[in-house]
Structure 1
Amino acid sequence: MNEPLSSSVPARKRRRAPAAAPDQPLAGQWCVGTVTEAESGALVVQSGSLRLPATRAASCLLAPAAGDSVACLRVAPRETWVLAVLQREEGVPQVLQCDGDTRLEVRGGTLALNAARIELRTEALDASARRTTLATDSADVVARQLSLVASRIKLVGALLSSVVDRVEHFSKNYLRHTDGMDKVSATHVEVQAQQLMRLEGEHALVNGRELVKARGAQIHFG
C-alpha cells in the first residue's frame, strides 16, 4: 500500500500558513493650533504652516472662538477634530454649546449654581418639584397673562398694593377681618343679598345729602 505523499516530502520543504496579522487601531496625529475662523459652526485651525478645516468634538462643550488655542486630533488628511480649548483671550464670553436634546443629570448629590447674575432665556420653561422655596429681598414678575392655580394660598406681608382696571371675585364663602379702618371710596356702591343683609355697629350713621329712601313691605324702627 502506498504511503501518503505528505510523509514523503521533507519537513524543510513544507510551507507554513502565514500568521494572521494582529488588529491595528486607526492612527491619529495630535497637534496644537489657533482658531482663525469660527463662524456658523465652521472652524479653521492654523497649526504651524497648515491651515486645517476642523470640527468640534462632541466632548468639547466649550464652543471654540476665534483666537483660541486648541488641541486637535488629525485622523485623516482632511479630518481634524477640536478636542479641547486650551487658552482663551480675556474678555471673550465662555459659551457651553450642545447640539440636540441635552440633559444634565446628578445622581445622589446636589446641583448648585453660583454666579453674580443668572439669566434664563427660553421659549417655554417647565419646572416640576415636590417642594419649592424662594427667598429674595425683592422680586418683580412681569407678564401679559398670569394664572395661579392652587388648593390653598396664603399671603403674609406688611403692605399689599394692587392697581388693576377690573377685579372679579367669585367664592362660596368670603370672610374678612380688619382691626383698623375699612374704607371703600367709589362713585357708585351697590350691595345685594338674596336673603339677609345685616349692618351692625355701636353707632350707625346714614347720611344722604339730598335723599334718604327706605322701601319695604314692613319697616321697623326701635
Structure 2
Amino acid sequence: MSEPLSPAVPVRKRRRPPRPEAASEQPLAGQWFIGTVSADESGALVVQSGSLRLPATRAASCLLAPAAGDSVACLRAPPRDTWVLAVLQRDEGTPQVLRCDGDMRLEVRDGTLALDAARIELRTEVLDASARRSTLATDSADVVARQLSLVASRIKMVGALLSSVVDRVEHFGKSYLRHTDGMDKVSATHVEVQAQQLMRLEGEHALINGRELVKARGAQIHFG
C-alpha cells in the first residue's frame, strides 16, 4: 500500500533585510506649531507657544520681518532649531517691514513692475538709475543738493517762468544765441562786455547816458 500523502506545507518567502542606506533616505522630522513673537533683552527673536519659550530664526523666505505681538507659523527641527516661516496675523498700526540680509534683486520678466502708494520714500547712500528712456510727470518738484552735475548732449527747457538764485553763474560755450520778445534788462553794479573782433549794438533808438562821464577811445572814431 502506498503511504498517505502529507498535507502541503506553505513555503514562506524570506524577507530581504533592509538596505543599510534606507534609514538615511527618510526625511528629517519636524514639528509645526503656532506662536507669538517676543524679544529677549538682547533683541533676539523669541517665539512663545504655550508654556514653551523658544529662540527662533527668521526663514529666508519670510521677507516680512516679525514684530513683537505677531502670530507666526513656525517649524521646529532637531536638535534645537526653530524657524519662523510666515507671519499669520499682526496688530493694526504695526509697520510692515520687508527685510532681507545681503544683496537683493527684484526681477520681473516680460512684464511691468508698478508701485502704487500714497507716498514713496527712498533712503540710501548711493542711488543708481539706468534707463533708455525716462519720463517724469508731476505738478511740483523740488531738488535739493549740495552739488548737482548735469551732463547731456542736448537740453531743452520750456516753461512760463524761470527763476534762479545763485552766488555765481558761469557759462562756457562755442556759441550763445538768445531771443527775447519783450524787455531784456540787466541790472548790476559793474557791467563789462568784451569782444575779440567785433562788438555791435543796433537799435531803432540808441541811448547812452553817463551821469558824470562818457568816454570813447579808438584809433578811428566815425559818427554818421
Give the alignment's TM-score, normalised by structure 1: 0.91
Aligned to 2:131: 129
Post-superposition Cα deviations, 1:49-89, rounded to whole Å, max 9, x if no partner, equal 11111110000000001000000001114111000000000
Aligned to 2:7: none
Distance of 2:148 and 2:76 partners within structure 1: 54
Aligned to 2:6: none
Equivalent pair of 1:33/1:69 in contact (CA under 8 Å): yes
Aligned to 1:146: 148
Aligned to 2:31: 29
Equivalent pair of 1:28/1:74 in contact (CA under 8 Å): yes
Select the residue among 95, 101, 118 that pairs with 2:120: 118
The 1:90–1:172 alpha-carbon spacing in structure 2 relative to 1, beyond 3 Å, is: same
Aligned to 1:84: 86
Alignment-mate amino acid for residue 184 of structure 2: D
Aligned to 1:61: 63
Aligned positions of 1:33-44 closer than 5 A? 33-37=35-39, 42-44=44-46
Aligned to 1:204: 206
Identity %: 87
Aligned positions of 1:151-190 closer than 5 A? 151-190=153-192
The 1:15–1:87 alpha-carbon spacing in structure 2 relative to 1, beyond 3 Å, is: closer
Any unmatched runs of 5+ in structure 1?
A: 1-11
SS of the aligned residue for 1:46 comes to strand
Equivalent pair of 1:38/1:66 in contact (CA under 8 Å): no
SS of the aligned residue for 2:171 comes to coil
Give the alignment's TM-score, normalised by structure 2: 0.90
Q: Deviation at 1:16?
A: 6.4
RMSD: 1.8
Alignment-mate amino acid for residue 107 of structure 1: R
Equivalent pair of 1:35/1:68 in contact (CA under 8 Å): yes
**Post-superposition, which runs of at least 4 consecutive aligned residues in structure 1 deviate over 4 A?**
14-17, 38-41
Distance of 2:35 and 2:61 partners within structure 1: 18
Q: Deviation at 1:15?
A: 7.5
The 1:113–1:211 alpha-carbon spacing in structure 2 relative to 1, beyond 3 Å, is: same
Distance of 1:31 and 1:201 partners within structure 2: 90
Q: Deviation at 1:42?
A: 2.1
The 1:31–1:152 alpha-carbon spacing in structure 2 relative to 1, beyond 3 Å, is: same
